[in-house]
């Protein structure tokens, strides 16, 4: 129960890694604030956590909508009193080779994966500064370490998230707030559905554990980083990939 008495807000919490992280945090005693643009799915997820005896609330939130983010943060503060953990997990892909990538594809991915992280963090930072404590966790990727074919927009966003992490660790660390990034390898979620089976086989072969990861394996690392077990980890970008970058 490492997250007892903590209020954790997770974006993109209705599916995949965000959903697994919400479930793991709940099992560690946290109060969950689940945010997702998928309204029905996020409601269902919060209801299923509540039915299992956890404290959980759902918000329909698109991380590209700053006014919506501010409204949710205000409401959460009024309802639960604090925001102790922010997991900037919402993310999308819109892949194309450089020569074919449209400006719309570029902007869509940057707006969610990079600007969304900026907006959500800026919106909770004041609350955490008032509390003089907090943990911010950002979803990067191994693609934010070594790039990837067909992912100009996604790679830029995930490199950028590591830049945010190291900058905010400096700015907020002295005020009692830790900021870290997680760089998953290739994890079995809907986000991989657009990849051809042949590419997925190549990714399995390139991994030194010869398999894709599971959402729960990423959730475990978020839970560790959110907890006091990681009390001296700040500004890190932790790769969780079965060693794919070796």
- Site residues for ligand NAD per CB under 6 A: 11-12, 14-18, 36-38, 61-64, 89-92, 112, 116, 139, 141, 184, 186-187, 189-192
Residue 155 is labelled as binding a ligand: yes
Please, which residues have CB within 8 angstroms of residue 181's CB and are 6 or more apart in sequence? 137, 138, 139, 140, 144, 161, 162, 165, 236, 237, 238
Among the options 146, 154, 222, 232, which is catalytic? 154
Per-residue burial over 41-52, b = 16 or more CB atoms within 10 Å of its CB, e = otherwise: bbbebbeebeee
Q: Determine the Cα–Cα distance for residues 167 and 175; give it in Å rounded to an integer.
A: 14
- Any catalytic annotation for residue 154? yes
Complex with ligand NAD: residue 62 or 175, whichever CB lies closer: 62
- Beta-carbon contacts of residue 169 (< 8 Å; ≥ 6 apart): 178, 179, 180, 234, 235
Minimum CB–partner distance for residue 176 and ligand NAD (Å) = 26
Tell whether 222 is in a known binding site.
no
Q: Is 90 annotated as a binding residue?
A: no
CB of 67 to ligand NAD, least distance (A): 14
In the chain, the N- to C-terminal Cα span, in Å, equals: 34
Are the C-beta atoms of residues 35 and 70 closer than 8 Å to each other? no
Residues 6+ apart with CB under 8 A from 96: 102, 105, 150, 152
Nearer to ligand NAD, 4 or 193 (CB): 193
Residue 27 CB, shortest distance to ligand NAD, in Å, is 18
- Closest approach of ligand NAD to the CB of residue 150, in Å: 14
CB atoms within 10 A of CB 30: 27
Is the CB of 44 or the CB of 133 nearer to ligand NAD? 44
The smaller minimum CB distance to ligand NAD, of residues 150 and 232, is found at 150
Is 92 a known ligand-binding residue? no
Q: Is 140 assigned to a binding site?
A: no
Report residue 147: phi and psi, to 5°: 75, 175
For the annotated catalytic residues, the residue numbers are 154
**Residues of the binding site:** 89, 154-158, 187
Residue stretches of the annotated binding site for NADP(+): 89, 154-158, 187
């Amino acid at each position: 129960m490492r997250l007892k008495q903590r209020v954790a807000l997770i974006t993109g919490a209705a599916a995949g890694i965000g959903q697994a992280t919400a479930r793991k945090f709940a099992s560690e005693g946290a109060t969950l604030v689940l945010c997702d643009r998928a309204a029905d799915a996020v409601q269902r997820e919060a209801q299923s956590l509540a039915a299992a005896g956890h404290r959980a609330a759902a918000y329909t939130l698109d991380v590209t909508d700053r006014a919506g983010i501010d409204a949710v943060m205000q409401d959460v503060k009024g309802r639960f009193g604090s925001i102790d953990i922010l997991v900037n997990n919402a993310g999308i892909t819109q892949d194309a080779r450089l020569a074919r990538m449209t400006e719309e594809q570029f902007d869509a991915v940057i707006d969610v994966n990079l600007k969304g992280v900026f907006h959500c963090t800026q919106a909770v930072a004041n609350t955490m500064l008032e509390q003089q404590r907090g943990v911010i966790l950002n979803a990067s990727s191994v693609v934010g370490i070594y790039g990837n074919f067909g992912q100009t927009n996604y790679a830029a966003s995930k490199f950028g998230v590591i830049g945010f992490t190291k900058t905010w660790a400096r700015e907020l660390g002295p005020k009692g707030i830790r900021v870290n990034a997680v760089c998953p390898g290739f994890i079995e979620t809907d986000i991989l559905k657009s990849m051809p089976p042949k590419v997925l086989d190549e990714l399995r072969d390139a991994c030194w554990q010869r398999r894709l990861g599971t959402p729960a394996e990423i959730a475990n690392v978020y839970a560790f980083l959110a907890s006091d077990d990681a009390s001296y980890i700040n500004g890190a970008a932790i790769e969780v990939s079965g060693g794919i970058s070796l």
